[in-house]
Structure 1
Amino acid sequence: MLTIIGCGNLNRCDDGVGVIVAQRLQRHLAENPQDNVRVFDCGTGGIDVMFQARGSTSLIIIDASNSGSEPGAVYKVPGEVLEELPEASYTLHDFRWHHAIAAGRKIFKQDFPNQVTVYLIEAENLDFGLELSLPVKRAVDTVTAEILQAIYP
């Protein structure tokens, strides 16, 4: 089973890019069903990522990045490079998807995906708003097409 998870906040311009990709894939799969693929919008909740990924063999996460790189740049990164256990905290707001990868492996063991790929799309604008910037819109097309090729080889 392949699980695809889009992360981000649709109310913060380019931060919603992972959710936008997930929504596109959900619409495509509604018209072209695949029994072995699930797509979720997990917003900003890392704990949701951990539980939705459980039971899958492969996991793809899509999210915005803010590294100072060229806006719209796409980075495809193996999950193990980005995973880290969370520091002690009293709130789930601090538990992000990179924590979900590490915690999911530790908690669910063999019932958590071995193969994890993360697509990070460099944001141009993280202000409040509903529109993606032009470079990030182009990246949505690129990442969606690449993931569809993985679904339909």
Structure 2
Amino acid sequence: MPLKDTIDAAIKQAMLAKDRVRLTALRSIKSQIMLAETAEGASTGSLSPDAELKLLNKAAKQRRDAATIYKEQFRSELEENELAELAIIEEFLPQQLSQEELEGRLVEIIQRVGAQGPSDLGKVMGVAARELSGQADGSRISQVVNLLLNNTNF
């Protein structure tokens, strides 16, 4: 079932349950889907699963960043709201890799591309970003790759 249909069904459930936070988060996602479908250059009017995944990751990243900013500004009520919306968005994302799973997959990618050190970061990140899309945040992937490439004992 396309993401848009899943979101529509979840919106109906949130309306019946009178869950304001869930409804706000779901409407936000639906709005972003509709904007992407009608954007200039959109070919079919519906999004591919990859495009849907990118859209959800972008929405999750926005909530994470906003929560961090609110935390730094000691605005706990707004931070809690962003984190609640983030949890709702993450329901529609694939399961994230644990730290150990991520490190294992990245070591395998590093060995496959033949990376020798920090100068090969771009080579590794290109493959890792493509293969781990939706399974781990890009900044998290980058941090682990940097750590692994700087540690020559992988």
**TM norm structure 1:** 0.29
Q: Looking at CA atoms only, which structure, 1 or 2, has the larger radius of gyration?
A: 2
- Whichever structure has more helix as a proportion of its residues is 2
* Greater strand share, structure number: 1
Q: TM-score, normalised by structure 2?
A: 0.28
